[in-house]
Structure 1
């Protein structure tokens, strides 16, 4: 899935997207991509809906933060929580900024996704995203399962920040583990990537399981516990400041 995230960055700037010629695109030469974009106040958030005929999968990909924009974006991470209507009765809240970005982007990606699902009805649906794209991917899966009855086989995120409070995280775990429509969710973290540590727990934020924690060399990984905040995984680092870890996942530069 990481290669599709890298392709979304290339397509976000229109480099190699139109003819699917970017380096990551060429790793999946029989894929067809449909780009979408949107965002709040011209933030230019974008992504792809990809159909890969080699594996008969539709992949919904949300692009993340470009390296040059990380510092400015990080300043907005410690945002407020706002109510999340689908599970408001359980006390669910999500990050105000992430949710605003998602709502602004939703019409565009839903149009592209609906087209792909109609065109390739036998394909399974996977969702992925890196960084901010991981947060948007999580919100998309929650929305698609809550409000659109779309079956999603898997969600993989890379370097994802916390999206909501503990009530939202546990509700999301329940959504992904429904027996009638399960979705595998793996939140991949590379060693001391700082972004998965924000917004902080002290401000009421919480991750959903399951974290997959890779060591620095990305030669070993741990499947972490169902709390979402396993203190033997990425939380074992009190201070995680290796920005380079955020932009390299499983050997793929992002």
Structure 2
């Protein structure tokens, strides 16, 4: 009941309007090189993603070295996780960007690939306790789903309370993270989109995101998140030959949503329209299998930001 009342409270106070583009139409568009201004616009989120690797005690004080100094105006609210069974996470408010930030700690590429191994890559429906009413056709990686549930309750209420606290500013909610953290934040984004009033603006910027769910999951993200801000509501940024984003395999039923940006070996950033674009400039076309990937590329740099604390 508390959850219903809290979401109802700000139901009419946040809004966005946008058309929902078809991912099939997006897939027909050409790969384009991004401008330097567009590239730099993502940099604050790279620092927020990197900061999730820092200890909760430092995050609470917002004293985590370069990652915190890059966004000195940030107001941390709550932290969690143990850095092992449950990755570190934190929530706070950025008054400059006017958005509530949610960030999860990532994992090393080796650990990430191991956890996404085919033997453990079962697809499972989302838990109705946190994704009530969402179609059971929407399925996600079982291990990621189980880990997400360990922080879902605290995250939900922390974000809802911040939206109420800063109600006059009408902030958006931006989910960020790297690697495993990117996957967990994407599940947060879907949970908020499904649970919060439909006029709440949810955005996502992830780095080195693995495939999280099936075709129905990718279509849901495209419809309710990617479509925000003229198709820029969901952005996943891949660096060079990082093998993590090509896992788990499409052969196992996993599909990426639209919104890929791929950093080329030259350092140029290109947008790759559609779901799992196979063009040679995009991650699926660049990294054919794990053996052809370079694990170190997972850490970046992303416009000068290397993931880690």
TM-score grouping bracket, smaller chain normalisation: 0.7 to 0.9
Of 68, 76, 91, 1:49 maps to: 91
CA distance in 2 between counterparts of 1:213 and 1:177 reads 17
Residue aligning to 2:159: 113
Please list every run of 5 or more consecutive structure 2 residues that lacks an aligned counterpart in the other structure.
Answer: 1-44, 129-133
Residue aligning to 1:252: 305
For residues 165-191 of structure 1, the C-alpha deviation after alignment (integer angstroms, 9 at most, x for no partner) is: 112111221122568998711111111
Residue aligning to 1:132: 180
Residue 9 of structure 1 aligns to a residue in which SS?
coil
Per residue, is there more strand in 1 or in 2?
1
**1:81 aligned onto 2:130:** no
Structure 1 residue 59 displacement after superposition: 1.2
**Consecutive aligned runs of 4 or more in structure 1 exceeding 6 Å deviation:** 179-183
Residue aligning to 2:20: none
The size of the alignment, in residue pairs, is: 244
Residue aligning to 1:175: 224
Closer, same or farther in 2 for the Cα pair 1:111/1:74, shift >3 Å? Answer: same
Closer, same or farther in 2 for the Cα pair 1:102/1:49, shift >3 Å? Answer: same
> CA contact under 8 A between 2:74 and 2:94: conserved in structure 1?
yes
Please list every run of 5 or more consecutive structure 1 residues that lacks an aligned counterpart in the other structure.
Answer: none
> CA contact under 8 A between 1:153 and 1:183: conserved in structure 2?
no
Larger Rg: 2
Of 36, 51, 73, 1:7 maps to: 51
Higher relative contact order (CA 8 A, sep 6+): 2
CA distance in 2 between counterparts of 1:37 and 1:19 reads 14
Of 141, 147, 152, 1:101 maps to: 147
Closer, same or farther in 2 for the Cα pair 1:204/1:183, shift >3 Å? Answer: same
Per residue, is there more helix in 1 or in 2?
2
> CA contact under 8 A between 1:124 and 1:152: conserved in structure 2?
yes
> CA contact under 8 A between 2:51 and 2:68: conserved in structure 1?
yes
Structure 1 residue 100 displacement after superposition: 0.8
Structural mapping, 1:151-166, within 5 Å: 151-166=200-215
For residues 52-98 of structure 1, the C-alpha deviation after alignment (integer angstroms, 9 at most, x for no partner) is: 22332221112211x3xx4334222131111236122xx32110011
Of 35, 60, 68, 2:78 maps to: 35
